[in-house]
Amino acid sequence: MEVFEAALTKYGIGNWTNIIKHRCLPGKTVAQLYNQTQRLLGQQSLAEFQGLSLNIRAIFARNLTIKGKRKNNCLVNSGNKLTRPKLEKLKIKNQEEFGIAQDVIDSTTIPELTASEMSHVLIQQGEDEDKVTTQTRLQKIQRIRRLQGYLSSFKKQHQILVSGSSIDSKVHDKRKRGASSVGGTKSSSKKKHRTSKP
């Protein structure tokens, strides 16, 4: 936490690019830095502090005394969106009330990781990401294989049903033909028998 406070003092609130560039908190995203700053200041909107080097703890103490709607212990702006002139006035007021002297900003040093520690963090992060992507790919492949298995078994069952029904229809047709041919021979023999009489 102290490292992040020092980074905000050195580079200013909202200057996430500089904080990430100088590797103050390796592995942190802009969204994570933004959310952490909200918690440190005790309010959601950071527009009135943008680019300023301020006393973070003094702002948090002031926000604790303000009554209003809160979310995750942070004050929520329930009014209308600030216009540019009002925003500039607030920034000037915040600088006057909570501003840090330039010599303090210049003398602020931020603890940095050594090269070996930095590479270890980056390698570990890369390995974790590789593991996640590999696991995700394997899960997708397994799902596809299961679906392919279901489809092949379904096709086999369908073919069995179709072939079974065609066999049944052929047998039925043969029986019909056999019955008709037997009936035909009987009638013809009767006719022949009748004609043989004087």
Task: Report how many domains make up the chain.
Answer: 1
Asked if residue 142 is part of any domain, the answer here is no
Asked if residue 167 is part of any domain, the answer here is no
Q: How confident is the model at residue 114 (pLDDT cuts 50, 70, 90)?
A: very low
More confident residue, 148 or 66: 66
DSSP the chain: -HHHHHHHHHH-TT-HHHHHHTTSSTT--HHHHHHHHHHHHTBS--GGGTT--B-HHHHHHHHHH--S-EETTEE---SPPPPHHHHHHHHHHHHHHHB--HHHHHH-------HHHHHHHHHHHHHHHHHHHHHHHHHHHHHHHHHHHHHHHHHHHHHHHHHHHHHHHHHHHHHHHHHHHHHHHHHHHHHHHHHT--
Q: Mind listing the pLDDT tens digit for each residue in 29-79? A: 999 999 999 999 999 999 999 999 999 999 999 999 999 899 988 999 877
Range of the domain at 81: 2-112
Say what the pTM is. 0.56
Asked if residue 34 is part of any domain, the answer here is yes
Asked if residue 97 is part of any domain, the answer here is yes
